[in-house]
Amino acid sequence: MSDFARFTPLLAIETSCDDTACAILDAHGTLLGESVLSQEDHAALGGVVPELAARAHLKALPDLVELTLQRAGLELKDIALFAATTGPGLIGGLIVGSSYAKGLAMACGKPFMGINHIEGHILTPRLPAALRPDETAPAFPYLALLVSGGHCQCIAVEDTGQYRRLGGTIDDSAGEAFDKVAKMLGLGWPGGPALEKLARDGNPRAYELPRPLKGRPSCDFSFSGLKTAVSRHVEPYGRDALPRQVAADLAASFQQAVTDVMTDRILHALDMVPHVTSLVVAGGVAANTVLRQRLQEIASQRGIAFLAPPLQLCTDNAAMIGWAALERLKQGEIPDDISLAPRPRWPLSERQPHQPHTPHDTPSSGSSSLMEPSA
């Protein structure tokens, strides 16, 4: 048995936003058991309410952990390590999930490992469960595009724990823009899947919408101006429901604008890291088929592989947290961070292998932003 395998099977918990998730992995990264509970109460409120999300996590975790153990055919005493998302994310949820995992670790006399949520997403394409039979895990280095409700970043993944942020959003994330535009079109929340479905019946050239930052140097993103442009087309209808074809055309035009921006930004990113072996996409917006197809075309043109996890591993899940912990264990990291405090903001640059945790890691009160700071 290799040294890192003594910390498996490991149990991971993810509670950074509104999904409560638990997963158990073995030393090979095989998913032994997994459970995800999506909170539905937020839909009627038009978005995630942090306090409600934290309470829901607290209520769900005991039964969810027990269910995951049953699915894995294991008992709590069989778990060798407990891991949990410790940031970035909504601070209430992070406190609940990490505290629960730490409590289990202390009760069982086992170690705890705090995992960066962003790291979990960008390492997901290496998870065995994320690969089709004809695919192999991307070799380092590769370029990761993280697009979700809280994040929009281009990251050069040089190795486990060695990440270089090439660019990110200067305002809204892509997922946030999808949700807000969907709300304008009367599609409710979360809006990404509904907007994509409606866009299939629309004309992507019906409305001339801006392509923010397209053609400019670097690979930063901006979506606030694009949202404003859509709102101006919706405004004349006032409180009346949009005619379905108008809504479909706006949805298709917006989706095309986002795809064009993403295409331009990724081409810039690839020019910045011409040595990468693969282009991977992760996060909830990675489920968008139009975006996936365009990214796959770019990768093919550049002669590199393209990988996108299956839908259930694009959105927040605990399997990615367990896999990130396993990747770090393989690198020789010793799980000794029981005192690691949850952080609403946690740039990847501040979590390198074997980096000691100091008092300044404790987050300041008040902020609940999901985005990594630009600087």
Annotated binding site for substrate: 146-150, 179, 192, 196, 288
Contacts of 236 (CB under 8 A, 6+ apart): none
Nearest residue to 315 (alpha-carbon basis) of 175, 140, 142, 189: 175
Instruction: State the distance between the two ends of the chain, measured CA to CA, in whole angstroms.
Output: 42
For residue 223, which phi and psi values (nearest 5 degrees)?
-130, -5
Annotated binding site for Fe cation: 117, 121, 316
Two tokens at 63?
């039964």
Contacts of 42 (CB under 8 A, 6+ apart): 18, 48, 49, 52, 53, 189
> How far is 221 from 116, CA to CA, in rounded Å?
22
The answer to whether 90 and 367 have CB atoms below 8 angstroms apart is no
The answer to whether 157 and 163 have CB atoms below 8 angstroms apart is yes
> How far is 370 from 148, CA to CA, in rounded Å?
10
The answer to whether 54 and 92 have CB atoms below 8 angstroms apart is yes
What one-character DSSP code corresponds to residue 334? -
Nearest residue to 286 (alpha-carbon basis) of 121, 132, 43, 139: 121
Strand runs labelled E in the chain? 10-14, 19-25, 31-38, 81-87, 112-116, 142-147, 152-159, 162-168, 278-282, 305-307
Annotated binding site: 117, 121, 146-150, 179, 192, 196, 288, 316
> How far is 237 from 294, CA to CA, in rounded Å?
33
DSSP-assigned states of every residue in 220-288: -B--HHHHHHHHHHHGGGTTSPPPHHHHHHHHHHHHHHHHHHHHHHHHHHHHH-TT-SEEEEESGGGG-
Two tokens at 201?
């019946």
Contacts of 81 (CB under 8 A, 6+ apart): 7, 8, 10, 11, 105, 110, 111, 112, 113, 325, 329, 335
User: What radius of gyration, in Å, describes the C-alpha atoms of the chain?
Assistant: 20
